[in-house]
């Protein structure tokens, strides 16, 4: 074998070895450190304090999803390497119904460290619960629960605000494929959880519209009573594509008798998000940063993301 043929022969052997045993530029430990942790779907979310949020996930109470996370803590990123930090909260769900099924919204209760974690009702009468949770010393625990006080079909948006000294609970049906939904509200009291008589106003969707469009899938109210919602499009495919719009739609005010009243104004578009299925909106208000609007997505196969809107 001459020198040229030998070199060609050795080159083929080297290429074959590379194909069989690819060379990595980093060790297994280094690769593990570079792989980010995928955040589960953020089906509902609410701000707690500082950089902390509580998120709920829409795991169903089925054998396949029994071990899936139901509730998580999320912390805003402080470095490029760490990104958004999240940690599953291990909760004990009281009552005969067992673990939650299809939690779709989380509400912060003004004036303290209490929250409502709300099932959508999509899974039937056994899973139509509203859990009262309390946060303290870095821990979250459920202190009580009640069943939905009214007949519902599929609620993905709820919130609690305050008018004067009175707590007010708001919610809206997802109303997929319809061009409108009802935004409903009632007085709320705790310990035990109880609701007053519900009132309602029609919210007419603007964008998106048509099959697969959901007029309201997330809801929040800031300290001045301004109402924020999310409308979303889902093609009924876990691969997407999705589309979402974040709106400011009106305000909760005190009526002539001091009772809560919802006034819907002309919709103000805050963001359009192509390719993302937003299912959470959370208002963060601090002395340092002012009023900020955060969104969370439930992008099915792609997981969830947390982002600050302009």
For residue 15, the model assigns a pLDDT of 43
Query: Facing residues of 24 across strands?
Result: none
Helix extents (H) in the chain = 3-20, 28-34
Taking the C-alpha atoms of residue 15 and residue 29, their distance in angstroms, rounded to an integer, is 27
Residue 209 lies in a domain: yes
Taking the C-alpha atoms of residue 140 and residue 113, their distance in angstroms, rounded to an integer, is 10
Residue 117 lies in a domain: yes
For residue 31, the model assigns a pLDDT of 39
For residue 37, the model assigns a pLDDT of 61
Side-chain-side CA neighbours of 90 within 13 Å: the count stands at: 1
Residue 214's SS3 state is strand
How close are the terminal C-alpha atoms of the chain, in Å? Answer: 70
CATH code for the domain in which residue 239 is found: 2.115.10
- Rounded to the nearest angstrom, the gap between the alpha carbon of residue 72 and the centroid of all alpha carbons in its chain is 10
pTM, whole model, 2 decimals?
Answer: 0.87
In degrees, to the nearest 5, what angle opens at C-alpha 59 toward C-alphas 54 and 63? 145
Residue 295 lies in a domain: yes
For residue 244, the model assigns a pLDDT of 98
**Residues ≥6 apart with Cβ < 8 Å to 294:** 45, 47, 53, 280, 281, 282, 283, 284, 306, 307, 308, 309
- Tokens 């912060």 locate to 108
Taking the C-alpha atoms of residue 159 and residue 24, their distance in angstroms, rounded to an integer, is 50
For residue 193, what are the domain limits? Answer: 39-308
Token pair belonging to 162? 């305050």
pLDDT < 50 positions in the chain: 1-28, 30-35
For residue 112, the model assigns a pLDDT of 81
Residue 54 lies in a domain: yes
Residue 111 lies in a domain: yes
User: What tens digit of pLDDT does each residue of 109-168 get?
Assistant: 998 899 999 999 997 778 999 999 999 999 999 999 999 999 999 999 999 999 999 999
For residue 25, the model assigns a pLDDT of 41
Round the average pLDDT of the chain to a whole number and report it. Answer: 90
CB atoms inside a 10 Å sphere around CB 53: 26
Residue 31 lies in a domain: no
Total number of domains in the chain: 1
Residue count (the chain): 310
Residue 6 lies in a domain: no
């Amino acid at each position: 074998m001459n020198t040229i043929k030998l070199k060609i022969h050795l080159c083929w052997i080297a290429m074959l070895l590379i194909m069989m045993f690819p060379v990595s530029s980093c060790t297994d430990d280094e690769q593990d450190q570079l792989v980010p942790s995928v955040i589960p779907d953020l089906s509902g979310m609410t701000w707690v304090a500082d950089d902390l949020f509580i998120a709920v996930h829409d795991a169903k109470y089925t054998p396949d999803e029994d071990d899936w996370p139901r509730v998580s803590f999320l912390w805003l990123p402080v470095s490029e390497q760490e990104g958004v930090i999240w940690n599953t909260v291990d909760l004990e769900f009281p009552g005969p119904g067992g673990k939650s099924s299809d939690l779709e919204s989380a509400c912060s209760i003004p004036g303290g460290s209490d929250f409502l974690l709300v099932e959508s009702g999509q899974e039937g009468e056994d899973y139509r619960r509203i859990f009262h949770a309390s946060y303290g010393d870095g821990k979250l625990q459920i202190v009580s629960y009640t069943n939905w006080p009214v007949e519902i079909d599929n609620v993905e948006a709820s919130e609690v605000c305050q008018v004067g000294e009175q707590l007010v609970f708001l919610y809206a049906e997802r109303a997929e494929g319809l061009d409108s939904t009802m935004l409903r509200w009632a007085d709320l009291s705790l310990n035990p959880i109880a609701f007053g008589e519900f009132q309602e106003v029609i919210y007419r969707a603007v964008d998106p519209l048509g099959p697969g469009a959901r007029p309201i899938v997330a809801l929040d109210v800031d300290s001045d009573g301004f109402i924020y919602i999310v409308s979303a499009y889902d093609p009924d495919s876990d691969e997407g594509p999705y589309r979402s719009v974040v709106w400011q739609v009106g305000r909760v005010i005190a009526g002539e008798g001091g009772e809560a009243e919802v006034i819907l104004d002309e919709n103000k578009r805050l963001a359009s998000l192509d390719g993302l299925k937003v299912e959470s909106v959370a208002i963060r208000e601090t002395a340092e940063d002012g009023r900020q609007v955060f969104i969370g997505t439930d992008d099915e196969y792609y997981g969830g993301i947390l982002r600050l809107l302009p």
